[in-house]
A and B are shown apart, each in its own frame.
Chain A
């Protein structure tokens, strides 16, 4: 069972490793498309990494509903 802070740290780590972002670029309200320029392929890569780390499964509809880093954290927090 991960705490919310641990989930935030994990999501940040995944985004840094997968896309070369710096921690300064990644805030809870950072928008995945407008600020980070994530596209549909990036979203799949991100989901695969998060699934590996959490054991959760993200459906396409889950990915489409994610707008910000906070949304990812909420989604994981609500299911772990």
Chain B
């Protein structure tokens, strides 16, 4: 296939995938969520059902994109995500990071943007899954630590958002605060996208010149270090966040090379 034809094909299937995601989200809101909401069970069980449905839907969506030749996804050490009650953190190079990760996590509590909470096609699934809005402050940290105490897996993106160039951004300290508050180590997943694509500010039709290779590397846990007596939790969060970012920078360098 000549490069131009390849590019046209890639734009077409990318557009199809975006449309499929939107249409799928609409069907999910109109059919799946109402059906699930009528099944019996306590709130926790109902949230788990909805999260599992989101997981299956995202897994299917990833398979479709692989089938269309848009990308390949390789998950390294996936078994590390199987244990429940983990604080999973990931870098955020692409628009689809949450899709890739949730497709590997049958149960995951997520923190989502206010815009997603307000989206008419997504808000019912988000609310019914028990996801949090990313309100700043202590209440969110407390709520996240509470979910971990219930042995639920929590997914956070310490960068908060994607960067314009796909490179590692600055880390906010919310994930570190949650780790310190809950006493749980962080389970880093390093996401690598080659060539860089689906970055912030990129239009959907600005496609890569070849199939994307997505690697999700599930790493060993990073635990908070012992702090000297008298040190505050603010200092501990800064140190842990800094260690975590250094960890990601090194791993991404290795994956790049």
- Describe B's contact surface by its main secondary structure: helix
Contact of A39 among B173, B230, B232, B235 (CB under 8 A): B173
- Residues in B lying within 8 Å of A, measured CB to CB: 136-138, 141, 172-174, 177, 230-235, 237-239
Q: Which of B174, B177, B235 contacts A20 (CB 8 A)?
A: B235
Query: Contact: A44 with B137, CB < 8 Å?
Result: yes
A residues with a Cβ closer than 8 A to B are 17-20, 39-42, 44-46, 49
Q: A41-B141, A41-B173 are in contact. Are A19 and B136 (CB under 8 A)?
A: no
How far does the alpha carbon of A49 sit from the alpha carbon of B231 in the complex, in Å?
Answer: 12
Since A39-B172, A41-B141 are in contact, a sample of 14 more A-B pairs with Cβ atoms closer than 8 Å, ordered by chain A residue number, is: A17-B230, A17-B235, A18-B232, A18-B234, A19-B234, A19-B238, A20-B231, A39-B136, A40-B136, A40-B137, A41-B137, A42-B234, A45-B234, A46-B234
CA distance A19 to B234 in the complex (A): 5
Q: Is the interface of A mostly helix, strand, loop or mixed?
A: helix
- In chain B, what residue has the closest Cβ to A38? B234
Q: Would B136 and A18 count as touching, CB distance under 8 A? A: no
The CA of A49 and the CA of B234, in the complex, are separated in Å by 11
CA distance A41 to B145 in the complex (A): 14
CA A49 to CA B232, docked complex, whole Å: 9
A18 to B232, CA, bound (A): 4
Give Cα A39 to B237, complex, Å.
11
| Residue in A18, A20, A39, A44 whose beta carbon sits within 8 Å of that of B239 in the complex | A20
Taking the closest CB of chain A, its distance from the CB of B197, in whole angstroms, is 30
Q: Is the CB of A19 within 8 A of B177?
A: no
Q: How many whole Å from B237's CB to the nearest CB in chain A? A: 8
Which single member of B137, B141, B173, B235 contacts A18 (CB below 8 Å)? B235
Q: Give the docked Cα–Cα distance between A8 and B138 (Å).
A: 27
